[in-house]
Structure 1
């Protein structure tokens, strides 16, 4: 694996982690809103 490929892999791993956090955050928001809508 070349230097450019390793650099791109690291960049993609960081982006993947950022997106996972975003999905996690949005999932939690959705859960909270659905519970609020039900009056829990």
Structure 2
């Protein structure tokens, strides 16, 4: 994640949440046999 400033902006938090959710979903799909959460 790249921040223009040391403090994450509200908009960045929203994008960060979407990014984390997408990454988590893809990880769960690829490693579903390992992760049951």
TM bin (shorter chain):
0.5 to 0.7
Structure 1: tracts of 5 or more residues without a match: 31-40
Query: If the length of structure 1 is used for normalisation, what is the TM-score?
Result: 0.57
2-side partners of 1:29 and 1:22: how far apart? 13
Query: If the length of structure 2 is used for normalisation, what is the TM-score?
Result: 0.61
Q: Which of the pair has more CA radius of gyration?
A: 1
Higher-helix-fraction structure = 1
RMSD of Structure 2 on Structure 1 (CA): 2.2
4+ residue segments displaced more than 4 Å: none
Number of equivalenced pairs: 27
